[in-house]
Amino acid sequence: MKTGCTAIRIWKIRTNADNRPYFRFDDILPLPSALCTLCWYQMSEPNGQSRLDRIEAILERHSTMIVSIEASIERQERANEVAHERFEAEDKRLLTAQILMNSAMERTNIAVEKMVNGMISLELKMEETTGKLNALINTVDGIIRKSDRPQA
């Protein structure tokens, strides 16, 4: 028997001490050339496809995936740009509102200061008025008491 391809390796699944599977070449068997040719034919053309056809199909799938990924990246970049523009617009509105609020707070603080100064002034005037009113009450009370006394 003539052998073109001298041997074929047989793979077997083994398990190690941890029961993890691993592959191992177990036996090397001599093959006749007709069987070897059949093996190569079957390996090179499963389902009627040559190795080049399979490689081209894989490359096509990969290029399709790459195009899909690139399109996804472009969509995400556009979405990021739109989100960034919205963020910038919102940030501008917030800064404007903050400036307006600070201005309103300054005006409120000035008004409160004026009100406090006015209340202090009012308190001083009320004390002065209370003192004068008490003096008037004492004077009127003195006059009334003098007139109520019998004249001697």
Residue 144 lies in a domain: no
Tens place of pLDDT per residue across the chain (152 aa): 444 445 545 455 556 667 666 555 554 445 455 444 444 444 545 566 788 888 999 999 999 999 999 999 999 999 999 999 999 999 999 999 999 999 999 999 999 999 999 999 999 999 999 999 999 999 999 998 888 776 65
Q: How many domains does the chain have?
A: 2
Whether 34 and 55 share a structural domain: no
Residue 151 lies in a domain: no
Residue 69 lies in a domain: yes
Q: What three-state secondary structure class fits 8?
A: strand
Q: What three-state secondary structure class fits 122?
A: helix
Whether 117 and 73 share a structural domain: yes
Q: What three-state secondary structure class fits 15?
A: strand
Domain that holds residue 27: 1-44
C-alpha to C-alpha distances, 42 to 34, 37, 49, 70, 110, nearest whole angstrom: 12, 9, 10, 37, 94
Tokens of 86: 């919205």
